[in-house]
Structure 1
Amino acid sequence: MSKLWTGRFSKETDALLDQLNASLPFDKRLYRQDIQGSMAHSKMLGKQGIISFEDQASIQSGLESILKDIESGMLVICNAEDIHSFVEQELTKRIGDAGKRLHTARSRNDQVALDLKLFTKEQVTILSDLILSMLQAFCTKSKEHLTTVMPGYTHLQRAQPVTVAHVWMAYANMLKRDHKRLMNALELMDEMPLGSGALAGTTYPIDRDYTCALLGFRCPTDNSMDGVSDRDYCMEIGNVCSILMMHLSRMCEEMILWCSGEFGFMELDDAFSTGSSIMPQKKNPDVCELIRGKTGRVYGDLMTLLTMQKGLSLAYNKDMQEDKEAFFDILDTTIHSMQVMIPMFETAVIHKEKMHQAALGGFINATDCADYLTKKGMPFRDAYKCVGQLVAYCIENKKALNDLTLTEFQKYSALFSEDVYTAIDLQTCLAQRKSLGGPAPEEVSRQIKKIEEFLSESGFHE
C-alpha cells in the first residue's frame, strides 16, 4: 500500500498498524466529495497562478475521468490508506507530475474536513425532504380522520376523548421542531474549512472566498485550527437525529399497541408486516419494532462522537478518524427509518369502530360531566367528587355514564337534567374542546393548515 507520507520513514509500517490506520473501507463513500473538493482546489490554484493553467486543465480532466470510471464500475477503490490517497495516486498515475501538484497548499486535515461537510450537507438535504414528506403524510391522513373519535391516554389509561387527527398532529408538531433543529444545524455548519491546511493555513496566496463560492458554502471558516478540528456539526446533527428517532420510536410504540389484539385500532399493510415461522396466524409490526430498536443504536453513535472528541487538544488528532463510521451510521439509520416509516404510515388502516367502542367504555367523558355541573353553578372540586361517585356507581353496575337514567343522575345532584346526555355525548365532548391546541375538528383543521403553511414556507412540493 503506497503512502503519501513515507519520506520521513526508513522502514515499512507494521501490517497490524496499517490495518488499524486504514480508513478506506468506510471513507471510500466520500469519493465524490473528495473529487469535487479537489476540482475546486485545483481551479483556485490555477486562478491564483500557484500552478499553471496547463497543469490545472490536466488535473481537471484527470479527476473527471476518475469520477466517471468509479461511478461506472471500471475503477475499483482499493489499495490505499484512505480515499484522499487513492484519488491522488490514481490521478498521478493517469496524468503524471501534474497530479503531484494538486496537493499544493492543502493538507489531508482540511481535505477530510471539507469532504465530510460536503457529504453532510447532501445527507441533510435528503433527511430534510423526508421529514417534510412525513409532515405531508400527517396532514393528509389527519384530514381523513378529523372526526374519528378515540380515547386519549395518560399513564396508558383511558383519559379524555380525542381524535386520530389530533394524535397525528401531535407527532407532526414534534417533527416540525426536528426539521427546524436540522435546518439550524445546517446553517451553523455551512462554513468551508478548505484552506486551513494542516492547522496553520498556508504561505501560498490562496483565495478561500473563491473556493468557497465554487463549493457552495456560506463562508470560509474563520480560524484554521477550528477549521480542521471542528466536528460540532456531526454531534449536533447526531443529536437532531437522536431526537427525531425518539419521536419515531414513540410513534412506533403507539402503533405497536394499536395493532395488538387488545387494542385493535390499526392494521399495517402486508407489505410492512412480517409473520411467524411457527404461528401461522401472526402478523407482526416488525418495522415499528426495528425502528424502536434502532433508536438506541443512534443514541450510541452520538455517544461515540461525544466521547471521541471530549479529550482532544487542538488541532487534528487521529482519534477523529472514528467520527465517520458513527456519523455515517447515524445518517444511514435515520434516513432508512424515515424511508420505511412514511409508506408504512400512509398505507396503515384505522379501525374506526374499535376506537369508538373503546372511547365509549372508558368514562373518558367524566371530565365533561364535571364541567357540565360546574357550568350549572357547582364548584369544580364538588363536581369532580360528584362525578367520581357516579363513575364508581357505573363500575359497580357495569354501566357507562351515557347509560344512566336521569333518575340515577339526579340521585347524585339535582343539577342534572335532560341536557346532560348531549353534554356527555362523545361528539359534543370533542366539538366543545376547541381551545387552542384542542381536539375539536375545527381546531385540528387549523393545526393542519399551520403545518401545511410550514411545508409551503420550507419549499416542499409533493
Structure 2
Amino acid sequence: MTIRYRAFLGDSKSFIEDYISSLDFDKRLTKYVAMVMLAHVKVLENSGHIPKEYVQDIAKELIDIVKTDGEKIYKWIEEKKVKFEDIFEAIESYLYDVVDGGAGYIALGRSRNDHVAAVLRLYARDVLYNILYNLIELRKALLEKASEYRSTIFPFFTHQQLAQCGSAALYFLSYEYTLSTVWRHLLQLLDILSENPLGSGAAAGTVVPLDIGLLSKYLCFKQGVLPPYYATGSRLFLLSLVSGIVLFMGELSRMAEDLISMNGIIPYAIEFPVEHISTSSIMPHKRNLVTLEIARSKISKIVGLYTSMLSIYKSIPYGYNLDLQELNRIFMDIVSD
C-alpha cells in the first residue's frame, strides 16, 4: 500500500518506499515524537487553535504511545499493513484512524523538519544523560581501585618500555582524571541539546503564532528562539555529541590496549575477572582478554561511523535534506555499540 504522503503524487513502487523509509530505525524515537506532538497539541489548545473537545482524545492516544514506548503504534502498523516514510507520518495516520475528528489540527504551525530536530535533541539528551551516569560509575570504580592498591608497586612505561615503578594509585588516578575531563566536556553539550527548534517550520518559520516559551517548558528546552534555517537544517548538535563520544571511546581504547599490552609483557601481573576471560581451544592454559579485545574493535568501528557522519554532513547544502535521515541511522548504530 502506498505511503500516506506519496498518495498525493500517485502510485509508487514497494522497493522505492522501502528504500526511502526510516520506519525500521525510527522505533527508538517514537516516544519522543509523541512527546513533541503532545506538547504541540497542548500549545495549540492554549492559543485557541484547536477545539478543546478534540484535545483530550488526541492527548490520550499520544500518552499511550509514550507509555508503551512505541509498541502500540508499531502493532497498529503491522495490523494495517501500511507503509510509512517515517514515524511522524505513521503517528499522524494512526490519529486520523482512531480519533474521531481533530487529528488534522496537528498540522497547524508544524513541519516534520522542526519536529524531527526537536525529537533528536530529546533522544540525544537522554543518551547523554546515560553516558554521564555511566562515566561517573566508571570514575568511582577507578577511585576505589586507586585507594585499594595505593601500596602496590606498579610498572609505568615510556616508549612502550618499562621506565619507572610507583604506586598503582597513580595509574588509576591518571585514567580517572582523563575521564573527569571527558565528563566535563560532555556535560557542556547539554546546553546545545536543550535548544528549542520548534516553531521553525520547514525552513523559514510559520505564520501560526505559537507560544515557544510554553513549548520549551513542556519539553525542558531552554527559553529562546533559534534561527529557523539553522534549527531545521543543522545537525551540529548531533555531531558534537558524537565527537564527544568518540573522544570518550578513544580514551577507553587506550585503556584497553594498555591492559592487553601489560598482560602480555608481565603475564598474570593483573588479575582480571574470570567472566572477561576466555581460553584457547587448543591451549587451555591461555587467558585471553576477550572483552577488552572486542571493546577495542568496537571503538574503532565507532570512529569509522563518525567519519561516515561527517562525510555525509559536509556535502549537504543548508536546509533540510533527506540525507540527514541517514545520520540518525548511523547515530543509533554508534549508541548501540
Q: TM-score, normalised by structure 2?
A: 0.93
Is 2:58 the counterpart of 1:31? no
Per the alignment, in what secondary structure is the counterpart of residue 280 of structure 2?
Answer: coil
1:383-402 pair list within 5 angstroms: none
Alpha-carbon deviation of 1:7? 6.1
140, 145, 154: which one aligns with 1:141: 145
Larger radius of gyration: 1
How far apart are 1:302 and its partner, in Å?
Answer: 1.1
* CA distance in 2 between partners of 1:68 and 1:183 (Å): 28
Cα distance between partner residues in 2 of 1:217 and 1:291: 34
Distance 1:57 1:200, change over 3 A: same
Which residues in structure 2 correspond to 1:48-447 (within 5 Å)? 48-68=47-67, 76=75, 78=78, 79-260=83-264, 262-333=266-337
How far did 1:247 drift?
A: 0.6
CA contact (8 A) 1:193 1:220 kept: no
In 1, are the aligned partners of 2:50 and 2:105 still within 8 Å (CA)?
A: yes
| Unaligned 5+ runs, structure 2 | none
DSSP 3-state at the match of 2:106? coil
Deviates more, 1:273-282 or 1:29-38: 273-282
Task: Note the C-alpha offset of 1:209.
Answer: 1.1
Distance 1:2 1:284 in 2: 53
Once the two structures are superposed, what CA deviation does each residue of 1:352-375 show, in whole Å capped at 9, x if it has no partner? xxxxxxxxxxxxxxxxxxxxxxxx
Q: Secondary structure at the residue paired with 1:25?
A: coil
| Shift in alpha-carbon separation, 1:68–1:145, aligned structure 2, 3 A | closer
Letter in 2 for 1:322: E
Structure 1 residue 213: deviation in Å?
A: 0.8
Q: Residue type of the partner of 1:108?
A: R
**What corresponds to 2:5 in structure 1?**
5
What is the CA–CA distance in structure 2 between the aligned matches of 1:71 and 1:203, rounded to whole Å?
Answer: 31
Shift of 1:13: 2.1
Which runs of no fewer than 5 residues in structure 1 stay unpaired? 334-462
> Which residue number in structure 2 is paired with residue 388 of structure 1?
none
The 3 A distance-change label for structure 1 pair 45 and 314 is: same
1:220 positional shift = 4.1
User: What is the CA deviation profile of residues 412-452 of structure 1, one whole-angstrom value per residue up to 9, with x for unaligned ones?
Assistant: xxxxxxxxxxxxxxxxxxxxxxxxxxxxxxxxxxxxxxxxx
Maintained 8 Å contact 1:193/1:227:
yes
User: Cα gap change, 1:242/1:286 in structure 2, threshold over 3 Å: closer, same or farther?
Assistant: same
RMSD: 1.9
Task: Please report how far the alpha carbon of residue 71 of structure 1 lies from its aligned counterpart in structure 2 after TM superposition.
Answer: 5.7
- Show CA shifts across 1:250-287 (max 9, x none): 11111112333744321211122223333322321011
Deviations along 1:122-141, whole A, 9 cap, x unmatched?
Answer: 11000000011111111111
> Structure 1, residues 298-330: CA drift from partner, whole Å, max 9, x if none?
111111111111122221011101111111122
CA 72–8 in structure 1, closer or farther in 2 if over 3 Å, else same: closer
- Give 1:23's aligned amino acid: S
Q: How far 1:72 moved relative to its partner?
A: 6.3
Q: 2:73 & 2:303 partners in 1: Cα distance?
A: 38
In structure 2, distance between residues paired with 1:279 and 1:196: 63
The answer (yes or no) to whether the contact 2:73–2:94 under 8 Å persists in 1 is no
**Deviation of residue 244 (structure 1)?**
0.8
Alpha carbons of structure 1 residues 178 and 324: separation in structure 2 relative to 1, 3 Å: same
| Length, aligned pairs only | 332
Aligned-partner Cα distance in 1 for 2:167–2:274: 25
CA distance in 1, matches of 2:280, 2:152: 32
Query: Shift in Å at residue 2 of structure 1?
Result: 4.7
CA–CA distance in structure 2, aligned partners of residues 180 and 261 of structure 1: 34
Q: Does the Cα contact within 8 Å between 2:30 and 2:70 map onto a contact in 1?
A: no
CA distance in 2 between partners of 1:312 and 1:97 (Å): 39
Structure-1-length-normalised TM-score: 0.69
**Alpha-carbon distance in structure 2 between the residues aligned to 1:4 and 1:237:** 33
